[in-house]
Amino acid sequence: MNKYLLLLTGLLILNGCVTAPIDESEITRELAQGRRSRAQIITDRSIEADSLDELSGDKELLAQTHINVHAFNGAALLTGEAPSEALRAKAVNLVRSVDDVKIVYNKITIAPPSDLSSRANDAQLAANVRAALDKIRTLNGFSPTMVKAYTEQGVVYLMGKVHRNEGTVVINLVRYQPNVKQIITVFEYLD
């Protein structure tokens, strides 16, 4: 029974249908090492949760698409797949209507929803990228919590508030990770 519950939970997370509750220890870590305020971190989590609620509340989008929403400093990054431009536009418009969204970066591809194998590969790639970011020690004042890395179909999306030299180091590090097809940055530069 527990195996089935664990499998179902894993599948829902891979599908993007579950939003993690607010983790106080993660917020505390990011506050100590990151560049967003507590209020902004919570707002970004709310943007993600509210956006996913909006998307999953639309039966057509729920049945035919695979869309992820990631928020950083009020910017919403949409990744995943939609089978038509009309469904992609519908998703973008729903997320634009969510409170506190300043800008939407639409990176949804026109394609059938990815399969679970592809999503598992992306989850592994994202974990590898995050582990690589944790090894950055050459940048004074930099912490890996300043950059968020997400993957979709082998494309790595990087979000964060960084200085240009930090962004360059991060991009160069990610570029050499196995199975990275492309890197798309959604950085907010501080200089």
CATH number of 23-110: 3.30.300
Alpha helices in 34-72 (DSSP H): 38-56, 59-64
∠ CA 23-28-30, rounded to 5°: 95
In this prediction, residues 155-165 reach a mean pLDDT of: 97
How much is the pTM? 0.84
Q: Which of 116, 166, 109 is nearest to 138 (CA)?
A: 166
Residue 95 has pLDDT above 50, yes or no: yes
Q: What pLDDT score was predicted for residue 7?
A: 44
Q: Report the percentage of the chain scoring pLDDT > 70.
A: 85
Q: What pLDDT score was predicted for residue 23?
A: 67
Say yes or no: do domains 23-110 and 116-189 share a fold.
no
Residue 173 burial (C-beta neighbours within 10 Å; 0-12, 13-18, 19+):
middle
In this prediction, residues 182-187 reach a mean pLDDT of: 98
Greater pLDDT, 19 or 76: 76
Residue 174 burial (C-beta neighbours within 10 Å; 0-12, 13-18, 19+):
buried
Domain ranges of the chain: 23-110, 116-189
116-189 classified as CATH 3.40.50.10490:
no
CB contact set of 67 (below 8 Å; sequence gap of 6+): 16, 55, 61, 78, 79, 80, 81, 82, 91, 108
pLDDT band for 133, please (50, 70, 90 cuts).
very high
Q: How are strands ordered across the β-sheet holding 155-162?
A: 147-152, 155-162, 182-189
